[in-house]
Amino acid sequence: MDLRPTAILARFRGKAVRYLSVSAIGTVITQAQIFLYVRVWGWNGALANLVAVSISTVPGYFLSKYWVWQQQRGHGSTRREALPFWVLNLAGLVLSTIFAAIADHYTSQWWVISLANLAGFGVLWVAKFLILDEYLFKSQPPPPLVEI
C-alpha cells in the first residue's frame, strides 16, 4: 500500500464524494439517535453511543459495499466482508464510546456527547477508507483476454 500523500489523494479522487456521503449519512443517523437516547430518553452517553453506532453500522456496510466501492451482488462474501467491516466499526465504537463517556462525565449536554462521538470516529476515518479500499472491497482486475 502506497502511503505517499499523492497516492492517497489519487485514491480519494474516484470515491471521495460517495465515501463522504456515506459518512455523512451514517453521522446523521448516529447523531439523531444520540439526541433521542440522551436528550429524550435520558440514557447516559456511553450507552447511547454504543446503541447508535451498532445500529448505524448496518446501512453503512451496505452503502459502502454497493455504492462507494460499487461491488456487484454476489461479488465477494458478505460474511468475509461484514466481519472486518464490523471490526473496523468496533474500533471506532470503542474509541467514540470512551470519548462519549468522558464527555458525559463532565456534562450531560447531548451536543457535547455528540461532538465526542464525532471526534472518536474522526480519528479513524482516513485509516478506515484505506483499509476498505485496499483489502475489503478491493476491485479485482478483469481477466486477461485470450487470443485464439
pLDDT band at residue 112, thresholds of 50, 70 and 90? confident
pTM of the model: 0.70
Neighbours of 138 (CB within 10 A): 11
Average pLDDT over residues 113-123: 81
How high is the pLDDT of residue 116?
85
What's the rounded Cα separation, in Å, for the pair 17 and 29?
Answer: 18
How high is the pLDDT of residue 141?
56
pLDDT band at residue 104, thresholds of 50, 70 and 90? confident
Lowest mean pLDDT among 21-35, 83-97, 112-126, 134-148: 134-148
The answer to whether the CB of 100 falls within 8 A of the CB of 49 is yes
The answer to whether the CB of 44 falls within 8 A of the CB of 63 is no
Which of 117 and 102 is assigned the larger pLDDT?
102
Q: What is the pLDDT of residues 12-51, one digit of tens each?
A: 666 777 888 898 899 899 889 999 999 999 998 889 988 9
Q: Which residue has the cell 474516484?
A: 14
Angle value at C-alpha 95, between 90 and 97, nearest 5 degrees: 90
Plot region of 42 (φ>0 → left; ψ -120 to 50 → alpha; else → beta): left
How high is the pLDDT of residue 51?
93
